[in-house]
Amino acid sequence: MDRRKCGRLKQLSLIIIAAIIGFLFGIIIMALASRRWRGETLEISDRIQNLISADNIRNNLRETTKKPHVAGTEEDWKTANNLKELWLRQGFDSAKLIPYDVLLQYPPLEKGKENRVQIVNSDGGDPIFESTLRPDTFGEEDIEQDGILPPYHAYSGSGDVMGEPVYVNYGSVEDLEYLRTNLTPGINFTGKVFICRKWDFRVAAKNAQRVNAAALIVFPDPQDHSVSRRYGLPYPDGPYLPKSATVWGSLYMDIGDPLTPNYPSTDGAFRIPMSEAKFLSIPVHPIGYGDAQKILSYMTGPAPPADTWRGDLNVSYQVGPGFKDNMKQRKIRVVVNSEYQQRTTYNVIGFIRGSVEPDRYVIIGNHRDAWGLGAVDPTGGTAVLMEISRVFGKLKKEGWRPRRTIMFASWGAEEFTLTGSVEWTEQFHDVLTKRTLAYLNLDIAVTGKYVVFPQSTPFVAKVVAEALKKVQEPYPSDTRKTLYDTIKERLGENPEDGVHFVDGGTDYEAFYYGLGIASVNAYYLLDFKRVEGHPNFYSLYHTQYETFRLVDKYIDEGFLCHRAIGQLYAEILRNLGDSLLISTDMTKYINTVNSLSHDFRDNYLQKVLENAYRNISFDYLSDAIDEFSSAVENFQQTILPAVDTNDPLAVRAINDQMMYLEQAFLSRERLPGKAVYRHALVAPSAVVEDNVQFRTFPGLMIALHGIDDDPNQEERWEEVERQLAIVTHVIRLAASALKDFTSW
């Protein structure tokens, strides 16, 4: 053997020895770190609780609500850049802006071109009524400043149309069917201008377009928004809706940038033509209930059912069509001149690198954009997030690091289409699915002081319950010392039995329903037993009256509930980011799967068995659920307790096994017509058609919907069988994911 070969062999041997030593050294470090963290856990947890400051959160909210920060505007960029710089000053390892060029829509600002509703003569002239172009400001400088948008709904169709008014209640399928069939004669909807109470205005708009209505006018009825002197006064004298208030919102029926479905809206992205995007063409415009009362008072036609169709306006809610008496020749005119624009919005991502498992992430995120000042939605959550980041940055500066990497996220353009979070999860799909333990969503923080409403997926439900026991109740009694106690007493629920499942309407949608990442959401509720209308929400939602003054004076004076929400999220974040073995009760999954199965069986099984084009068996699905239940019980009772917590590789493996379980429930296909949703067991309740929610086994439900009226029965029932097979498959796959590594 020549010297060169000897040298190469010697060099290779040294490399191998060094690698082995490095590997063993890494294991030793991980083991020592594991022991060290066990000792520090209680101390760090208590320190975090004590460091969260109500005064700091109040100051944060005051600063972040000085200017409106609508997505795609200059203030959107300023708030993003300010947050990035703040996180770097607070001690984060890194923070950066991630831009996305997305399609947004804005109302016209030029005088004379404003969106509006008028009552006009038959040729469109001589208006005797015009809707409020700008709601009352009550002399408040915050509301009077430039940048507060006029009334509009994003992604509305544009146009200048006239027609006879028809009051359609909430605009649901059942409401329209009542007008068409229960009245004599029934109303022909073609060319009519619908007026509806605000509830699910997206569905109302879709229904209006489907029956060829000319336009839709949406108003917040006092009955639905808890407007009554027995509850309190309207803004500015109280926290309730004044008569000129209009409610902003988005009409887009999916999530993510409309022109880049399934892919991020980055440089070089392919954008579909506008004609292929899923936009409504019908003009839709919001008005205040003061304007609605004027229009409804002029209307003719029969009076609808008092118990379900009449709100709290001082009118009879006659349905039309048209106006009465000397106004019979008058029409409703709706003008919508909103414009689509390609704008840049920004996410801000900050990192605190994990000391032991830097490639495992716990993410906490809040959307930064608001329709106006957004003191409740979302800037109350932003203020809390800024305080949590301060505390974690302070601990890092003092030498502490979490076991896993903690990521802080601030999303852009959530109010339009959950845009920022969707585009980010599309851009980093593979990285996030392989590395993310959980996502904590902090949107609205506080709407009242009554009780915390926690939501999560089963994997992290126990961590949430433990945090609820840790955080002190801000307004305690003899029987309510912690947030946990208050939930038990006021909601009649035991969080240890499982907290409410996440639903939708905020940024965890992309993480959970798209990527299969465990998610958490929580906020403080008002006393829904005291008020009617929106039981869990607040009257001024998505209005220009979401001011700092509203929160400081009427919602959470002292900011003690904001502090409690900050403590809750901080404890969940610490637990998931720093615990050796994730605390969980996987048997919650048995309850979830069984509940979904029972819901489907109770509502749809008989229909399938009676009407199927050919025999369809549910035996395989039942067997799969039994197999999954057995696997979960064995994992919880046998595999999990047997983990050697002194072996960092064994701990890592078992944590990953639990982390990846949720991804087993993802179908390889997206739900029909949806850009993100792939979860085969559950979908957000907003996935709806003809007033039917497709929350349980959504692919199967969509396949069954309207099947009796389809002439192609064989093809439709084939699709039912295919979707049933997908549900069966993912449940079997989930069972395999929890079995021993060598026995699945």
Q: Is 414 a catalytic residue?
A: yes
Band of residue 603 on the pLDDT scale cut at 50, 70, 90: confident
Dihedral sign of CA atoms 178, 179, 185, 187 in order: negative
Domain boundary among 337, 358, 388: 337
Q: What is the CATH number of the domain that holds 397?
A: 3.40.630.10
Q: In the block, which residue shows the tokens 């979401």?
A: 546
The rounded distance, in Å, linking the Cα atoms of 391 and 46 is 12
Residue 534's pLDDT band, with cuts at 50, 70 and 90, is low
pLDDT of residue 33: 47
Q: Do residue 621 and residue 487 come from a single domain?
A: no
| Range of weakest confidence among 464-473, 600-609, 727-736 | 600-609
Per-residue pLDDT, 331: 98
- For residue 419, the enclosing domain spans 48-105+341-527+560-578
pLDDT digits (tens, 9 = 90+) for 47-81: 999 999 999 999 999 999 999 999 999 999 999 99
Higher-pLDDT residue of 234 and 21 is: 234
Question: What's the number of domains the chain is made of?
Answer: 3
Confidence at 537, pLDDT banded by 50, 70, 90? confident
| Separation of alpha carbons 574 and 91, rounded Å | 17
The helix/strand/coil state of 324 is coil
Amino acid at 256: G
| Residue 656 appears among annotated catalytic residues | yes
- The string of DSSP letters for 65-102 reads TSS---TTSHHHHHHHHHHHHHHHHHT-SEEEEEEEEE
Strands 215-219 vs 193-197: parallel, antiparallel or unpaired: parallel
Domain boundary among 284, 308, 337: 337
Alpha helices by DSSP H, 356-480: 379-397, 414-417, 419-427, 429-435, 458-470
Closest CA to 733 of 627, 634, 601, 593: 627
Q: Do 595 and 663 share a structural domain?
A: yes
Say which range, 160-174, 205-219, 220-234, 267-281, has the weakest mean pLDDT.
220-234
**CATH number for the domain harbouring residue 314:** 3.50.30.30
pLDDT (average), residues 630-658: 97
612 in a domain, yes or no?
yes
Residue of 122, 583, 617, 685 with catalytic role: 617
* Same domain? 346 vs 474: yes
Q: Above 60 in pLDDT, residue 5?
A: no
pTM of the model: 0.93
pLDDT in tens, 328-358: 999 999 999 999 999 999 999 999 999 999 9
Closest CA to 499 of 464, 459, 543, 544: 464
In a 10 Å sphere around its CB, with 0-12 CB exposed, 13-18 middle and 19+ buried, how is residue 39 labelled? exposed
Lowest-confidence pick of 232-246, 494-508, 542-556: 494-508
Same domain, 566 and 598: no
Of 164, 233, 223, 573, the C-alpha closest to 409 is 573
| Residue 295 belongs to some domain of the structure | yes
CATH code of 690's domain = 1.20.930.40
Same domain for 425 and 333, yes or no, is no
Percent of the chain with pLDDT strictly greater than 70: 93
Among the options 200, 627, 656, 721, which is catalytic? Answer: 656
Q: Over 60: is that where the pLDDT of 142 sits?
A: yes
pLDDT digits (tens, 9 = 90+) for 21-37: 555 554 444 444 444 44
What integer pLDDT is reported at residue 29 of this predicted model?
A: 47
Judgement on whether residues 69 and 133 belong to the same structural domain of the protein: no
Confidence label for 690 from pLDDT (cuts 50, 70 and 90): low
pLDDT tens track for 563-582: 999 999 999 999 999 999 99
Of 250, 336, 281, 274, which Cα lies nearest the Cα of 71? Answer: 250
If you average pLDDT over residues 162-169, what whole number do you get? 98
**What would the mean pLDDT of 399-421 be, rounded to a whole number?**
98
For residue 617, indicate whether it is catalytic: yes
Give residue 383's pLDDT band: very low, low, confident or very high (50, 70, 90). Answer: very high
List the 159-163 sheet strands across, edge first: 129-130, 116-120, 331-336, 159-163
Q: Is the peptide bond before 378 cis (omega within 30 degrees of 0)?
A: yes
Q: Is the pLDDT of residue 622 over 80?
A: yes
Q: Given this model, what pLDDT does residue 16 score?
A: 59
DSSP 485-551: HHHHHHH---GGG-PEEP-SSSTHHIIIIIH---EEEEEEEP-TTT--SSSSS-TTTTSTT--HHHI
Task: Say whether both 640 and 565 belong to one domain.
Answer: no
Catalytic residue among 226, 578, 679, 719: 679
Q: Is residue 382 in a domain?
A: yes
Would you say residue 547 lies in a domain?
no
40 assigned to some structural domain: no
How far is the C-alpha of 297 from the C-alpha of 300, rounded, in Å? Answer: 8
Residue 654 structure tokens: 């078992």
Please pick, among 76, 414, 546, 662, the residue that the annotation labels catalytic: 414
CA separation for the pair 165, 334 (Å, rounded): 11
In a domain, 13, yes or no: no
| DSSP-assigned beta bridge partners for residue 367 | 411
Do 185 and 313 have their domain in common? yes
pLDDT category of residue 553 using cuts at 50, 70 and 90: very high
Is there a single domain that holds both residue 83 and residue 128? Answer: no
Please tell me whether residues 517 and 605 are part of one structural domain: no
Peptide bond before residue 258 is cis, with ω within 30 degrees of 0: no
Domain contains 57: yes
- Residue 11 has a pLDDT of 62
Tokens matching residue 603? 């509502």
| CA–CA dist 151, 561 (Å, integer) | 31
User: What integer is the mean pLDDT of 716-726?
Assistant: 93
Q: Examine the pLDDT at 724 and tell me if it is beyond 80.
A: yes
Q: Predicted confidence band at 693 (pLDDT cuts at 50, 70, 90)? A: confident
Is residue 569 one of the residues assigned to a domain? yes
Chain segment 313-332, per-residue pLDDT in tens: 999 999 999 999 889 999 99
Is the peptide bond prior to 283 cis by the omega test (within 30 degrees of 0)? no
Question: Given 299, 320, 337, which residue is the final one in a domain?
Answer: 337
Q: Are residues 149 and 289 in the same domain?
A: yes
Looking at the fold, whether 146 and 284 belong to one and the same domain comes out as yes
What is the pLDDT of the chain when averaged over all its residues? 93
Spatial separation of the C-alpha atoms in residues 416 and 413, rounded to whole Å: 6
CA distance 315 to 310: 9
Instruction: Print burial letters for 233-269: b (CB count within 10 Å at least 16), e (below 16).
Output: ebbbebbbbbbbbbbbbbbbbbbbbbbbbebbbeeeb
pLDDT band at 528 (very low <50, low <70, confident <90, very high): confident
Give residue 605's pLDDT: 75
